[in-house]
Amino acid sequence: MNGAKVVLRRGGRDEAEKPFWISFADLMTALMVLFLIVMGVALLAVTKNVTEREEKEKKHRTDIQLIMDRFVEAAKRYDGINVDRERGVIDFGQRARFAFGRWDLTVEQEGTLRKFVPEMLAMADDELGKRVLKRFVVEGYTDKTGTYLSNLNLSLQRSQRVLCAMFASAGPSLLSDVQKENVRSLFLVGGYSFNAGKETDEQSRRVEMRIEFLGLDEQRLPAPMQSGQFGDCALR
């Protein structure tokens, strides 16, 4: 027994562990491949959504330019009416200028406005208009004579006078009840005192109509369920 050596062989244990490590490595490889596939699919989905969004935005901008082209063409039929594409504003020029300190329009001025506004309503009511047009804001302005608050009231009266002309029951080119309903649902008024004045006082005493557009995926609010009962203008 003396001098006998006991040799321990570890090869059997090592051989037994190899299948475990091979299976674990295969599992990790499979998980990595699955992760890459999932990430690839997610990236494709995000890219597709971004591309579709960009296409919708591009079409929306194109539609806005198309409707602005129509406003420009309509304005050309009326001497003195211009469309500022950059600001999205219809400038009526002499067609809606006011005397100093006054808010009233001449019969001729009111008649011209009642001819042009139905064209605006028609454009707002067609398929393109329903996609992009939100509303119109009649904006009144004054010259710099007087105080800010007194001119704020005067500028609001001027824009109000324009809408009163739309609901008139006497005078040239009267609107139909349906058109008046559309004016009530699509038009707002605002007064800006002597802010954004023009080069001269005469040019500053004016009204403009600002065109507001719907945002992407935004829809125009439905008209209120109300017919007739337009009332009388408070301005005399």
Mean pLDDT of the region 128-144: 95
Neighbours of 145 (CB within 10 A): 13
Q: Over 90: is that where the pLDDT of 179 sits? A: yes
The answer to whether position 155 is within a domain reads yes
The answer to whether position 164 is within a domain reads yes
Quickly state the pLDDT bin for 161 (edges 50, 70, 90): very high
Quickly state the pLDDT bin for 43 (edges 50, 70, 90): confident
CATH number at residue 175: 3.30.1330.60
Quickly state the pLDDT bin for 24 (edges 50, 70, 90): low
Q: Are 107 and 158 in contact (CB under 8 A)?
A: no
Quickly state the pLDDT bin for 230 (edges 50, 70, 90): confident
The answer to whether position 114 is within a domain reads yes
The answer to whether position 105 is within a domain reads yes
Instruction: Give the integer Cα–Cα distance in Å for 189 and 162.
Output: 9
For 75, the token pair is: 């304005």
**Per the structure, how many domains does the chain have?**
1
The answer to whether position 55 is within a domain reads no
The answer to whether position 139 is within a domain reads yes
Convert the pLDDT of each residue in 192-207 to its tens digit: 998 888 889 999 999 9
Residues in the chain: 236
pLDDT at 2: 54
Q: What is the pTM of this model?
A: 0.76
Instruction: Give the integer Cα–Cα distance in Å for 179 and 124.
Output: 11
Beta bridge partners of 207: 140
Q: Over 60: is that where the pLDDT of 139 sits? A: yes
Domain limits for position 146: 63-213
Q: Are 156 and 213 in contact (CB under 8 A)?
A: no
Closest CA to 100 of 158, 148, 161, 165: 158
The answer to whether position 32 is within a domain reads no
The answer to whether position 219 is within a domain reads no
CA neighbours within 13 Å on the CB side: how many for 177? Answer: 6
pLDDT at 18: 56
Q: Are 199 and 212 in contact (CB under 8 A)?
A: no
